Amino acid sequence: MILMLPLSLAGLAVAFALLSALVSLSANRKPRMLRYVAMGLLGLSGLAAAAAGLSAMGTHDVTTAQLPLGLPWLPWQVRVDALAGLFLLLIGLLTTAVALYGPGYVREFEYGRDSLAALGGFTGLFVAGMLLVVLADDAFMFMVAWELMSLSSYFLVAFQHENAANRRASFLYLLMAHVGALCILLGFGVLAGFGNGFSFDAMRTAPLSSTWASVAFVLAFIGFGMKAGLVPIHVWLPEAHPVAPSHISALMSGVMLKVAVYGFIRFCFDLVGDIQWGWGVAVLLVGSVSALMGVLYALMQHNLKRLLAYHSVENIGIIFIGLGLAMLFKGTGHPLLAALGLVAALYHTLNHALFKGLLFLGAGAIINSTHQRDMEQMGGLLHRMPWTGLFFLTGCISISALPPFNGFVSEWLTFQTALQAWTLNNGVLRSLIPIAAAMLALTGALAAACFVKVYGISFLGQPRSRQVRRAKEVSRGMLAGQGLLAASCLLLGVLPTGMVSLLNPIPASLLGQGLSHATKHGWLWLTPVDANVASYSAPMVLLGLLSAWGIAAGWLRRGKRRMVRRCDAWDCGFSAPNARMQYTATAFAQPIRRVFGLLFHIDEGTSREEDGALRHKLHVTDRVWDFLYEPIGRATLNMGRLASHLQSGNVRNYLGWSLGTLLVLLWVIS
């Protein structure tokens, strides 16, 4: 009975999510059903999923079961192990936070034309789909759950479909989601063909040659990488995430992208198993480019949610840097270093889910209160929304990888993995890994600069618009959801050894090598390689920061006691500063835009307003559209025009084409 506990709790989480979707069907007539009943059931689903994940990671056991669903000859099979447990925990934490946040946030939709039943129903199906992907133990159930996750999230992206931008974003998302799903299906097909079965157990024993294994890897890398948002197949992400409701954006960026990471790890590390070091090189290079390009594109954005979406590209790149290092070290016969890389990637996966979910919920609170998405129209929000400002600052520090919060730990572990490149015998690889590490360091610096811009422009200074001047703090439920994630960011940053211990069974099962030595010095010290090489004590860092803050506060308090004569400052003949004199987000990013200008398509100029004032205009777009997607679009349209000539309206032409097709098929078959 104890062994079945994680699976039972996971099944309960799926049942609560589906029940939440069912209850939401009556939300159009009774809006309270969505805010209180459906969101309450979603919260129970999150708690059950988190409990299932902790139980699976704590017991180190593998639980399997067969469901009376699926095809007559292919019943669905489910499995909970340590890897699935981590992602169940991740889904549970974010879903619980969204359930706390949701009632206050969805209240604004009650007076609009949008369907509350669709919002609540597809949210429940979305969460259920993600849970079922993680639980699936055969390819058929995995793909059904994957499609449920993709289709339900498509309807959530298209929720406010009266907006043309939403329709365009949802169509692009659906198109790329199905292209990625086709690649994943073909990858499973390769494994199933050699393993003579669709169950994951059969695929694990498939006798793959190195060529077919590489084919399966490439298909999985494209399919899961497209859903995760790797460059250059990331273009749907900055379009879809900003237009979805903010609590859905938190689930998509914080959870759905990680489900794609789960699928890639399950496919490559578990089902294929025999990893080649060349795969690691490919993953490392794509991850490094994604991290750097993601943060550069984020720096150019003024739309708050679009900026956060590009940072998802950046952090997915960081995760794949860790996975690439793990694959590279595994393929070259260094399982201990491979375990370190895998733990770094998994830790950053959890961390990104927490702080990116927190930032999207914070962005939703800002939009809910100000009805503004453009940072150029914000300013001074810290005085009007102090709790949201505190929680958003926590997310900014965490995503900037600054101690003592969680983002620092996982990026530090990634750097420690990269610093072990000297153990490799291949000179090219010993040179490649430091380059990737340098790109990661540059990414971290640019991320910190970006969030200085975000927080400074949005929360400090003076309000730039009337809506922002009238902003008020959001409801307690919305603050509770943000507070839960902010506290989790601090907890995982201050006590990382506990999470590393929970993660240790995952590399032990996938790579045959754990990372138990990293925590052998107790909760105070984290020693990923060796205590003499590198160590990190997060509690002591926190104690040092608090001590420094106390000393600085005391010094400032003493300074205030001195008698100071206050009077108006000499203004040098200039007028008093106003909101229009403040530093703008555009100006903040201008030096970086000049340095990396070749990477962007920049449309910059000025226009004169009706009142005679000059207005600076700047539009920065992704060059990937110019180099990759627009040529594909033009080729598709040209082929469509050629195919349209077949519709001549003449029956004899149609019969001729039919006869020709029949002859070709007979020739192929014979």
Lowest mean pLDDT among 281-285, 463-467, 594-598: 594-598
Contact 313, 443 (CB under 8 A): no
- What would the mean pLDDT of 162-189 be, rounded to a whole number? 89
**Which helix (H) or strand (E) is 68 found in, with range?**
strand 63-71
- What's the pLDDT tens digit per position in 453-462? 999 998 988 8
Distance in angstroms (rounded) separating the CA atoms of residues 355 and 392: 9
pLDDT at 652: 75
Question: For the chain, what percent of residues have pLDDT higher than 90?
Answer: 49
Residues 288 and 435 in one domain: yes
Confidence band of 1 (pLDDT split at 50, 70, 90): very low
Listed residues 496, 515, 534: the one ending a domain:
515
Query: What's 112's DSSP letter?
Result: S
Q: What would you report as the CA-atom Rg of the chain, rounded to the nearest whole angstrom? A: 26
Q: Decide if pLDDT at 155 tops 70.
A: yes
**Domain ranges, residue 667:** 600-670
Which residues 6+ apart lie within 8 Å of 142 measured at CB?
Answer: 133, 136, 188, 263
Residues 511 and 608 reside in one and the same domain: no
Cβ within 8 Å of residue 102, ≥6 positions away: 35, 39, 42, 247, 477, 481
Find out whether 230 and 287 touch, Cβ atoms under 8 Å: yes
pLDDT in tens, 238-270: 888 888 899 999 999 999 999 999 999 999 999
Q: What is the pLDDT of residue 45?
A: 95
Question: CA–CA separation, 507 vs 501, rounded Å?
Answer: 11
CA distance 466 to 418: 49
Residue 563 has pLDDT above 70, yes or no: no
Written as one letter, the residue type at 633 is G
pLDDT at 416 over 60: yes
What pLDDT, on the 0 to 100 scale, is given for residue 568? 65
Condensed to tens digits (0 to 9), the pLDDT of residues 178-231 reads 999 999 999 999 999 898 888 999 999 888 889 999 999 999 999 999 999 998
- Give residue-wise pLDDT tens across range 629-659: 777 777 877 887 777 766 666 777 778 878 8
* pLDDT computed for residue 3 by the predictor: 52
The more confidently predicted of residues 629 and 571 is: 629
The domain boundary residue, chosen from 491, 515, 539: 515
Does 417 share its domain with 292? yes
331-370: pLDDT as tens digits: 998 999 999 999 999 999 999 999 999 999 999 999 989 8
pLDDT mean over 144-154: 94
- Distance, CA of 54 to CA of 439 (rounded, Å): 34
Cα 64 to chain center, whole Å? 28
Domain end among 460, 484, 515:
515
Please check whether residues 620 and 480 belong to one and the same domain: no
pLDDT of residue 636: 76
Closest CA to 603 of 593, 588, 592: 593
pTM: 0.91
578 lies in a domain? no
Residue corresponding to tokens 């003024």: 302
Do 491 and 631 reside in the same domain of the chain?
Answer: no
Q: How many domains does the chain have?
A: 2
User: What angle is formed at CA 22 by the lines to CA 110 and CA 251, rounded to 5 degrees?
Assistant: 70
